[in-house]
Amino acid sequence: MNILVLNGPNLNLLGKREPEIYGQESYTTLVERISDHCLRQGIGVEIRQTNHEGVLVDWIQEAAGKYDGIVLNPAAYTHTSVALLDAVKAVGIPTVEVHLSDPDSREDFRHVSYVRHACVAAVKGKGYAGYLEAIDLLAKEI
Ligand code: CA2
């Protein structure tokens, strides 16, 4: 089983700003946690981050035929992007939406998720552990 983990805008700043919301650990630590977890489970994984919506769309499209599942934290694009929703729908790869924080308990504009309509599950408010839970959910789904 091969999975793709995609992270959207500003997640590269983890540990550097807003630690009260996103924690004190760095993006590099997140990547290490995911890599270690997948290694232990015998899951192949590729982990990427971009600040650009179109790049996320390209990566989702290119995942077809290469990956069995996607873990997606679209960050701010969660709340704005029909393009990401359409891309996830178009490729038809089981996708789990993940958020470090719980957007539903934050500002009203974060309560909407477009991509959720194409995802098999959403994991929210569990910090870095949420990514590992999302991977385990995918492993059961696939
Ligand atoms: O909780 C999440 O994972 C979010 O997807 C994070 C997004 C936010 O727009 C979503 O509503 C919820 C923001 C990512 C920004 O990450 C930062 C990390 C460190 C410092 C500043 C921003």
31 Cα to the center of ligand 1, angstroms: 16
Whole-angstrom distance, CA of residue 104 vs CA of residue 113 = 10
Return the best residue to mutate from 10, 97, 107 for the ligand 1 pocket (most ligand atoms within 8 A of CB).
Answer: 10
Question: Looking at domain 2-141, does it have CATH number 3.40.50.9100?
Answer: yes
Q: What's residue 68's pLDDT?
A: 98
Question: What residues flank ligand 1, with Cβ below 6 Å?
Answer: 10-11, 13-14, 17-18, 22, 73, 75-76, 78, 99-101, 103, 110
Given a contact cutoff of 8 angstroms between Cβ atoms, the answer to whether 113 and 120 are in contact is no
Catalytic status, residue 99:
yes
Given a contact cutoff of 8 angstroms between Cβ atoms, the answer to whether 123 and 106 are in contact is no
Q: Which atom of ligand 1 is nearest to the CA of 101?
A: 1
Please tell me which residue in 37, 67, 99, 114 is annotated as part of the active site.
99
Q: What's residue 19's pLDDT?
A: 86
Q: Which atom of ligand 1 is nearest to the CA of 76?
A: 9
Residues of the chain below pLDDT 70? none
Q: What's residue 95's pLDDT?
A: 98
> Residue ranges of the domains in the chain?
2-141
Give residue 120's Cα distance to chain centre. Answer: 13
8 Cα to the center of ligand 1, angstroms: 8
SS in 3 state form for 90-133? HHCCCEEEEECCCHHHCCHHHCCCCHHHHCCEEEECCCCHHHHH
Any residues with CB less than 8 A from the CB of 77 and at least 6 apart, and which? 8, 9, 53, 56, 84, 115
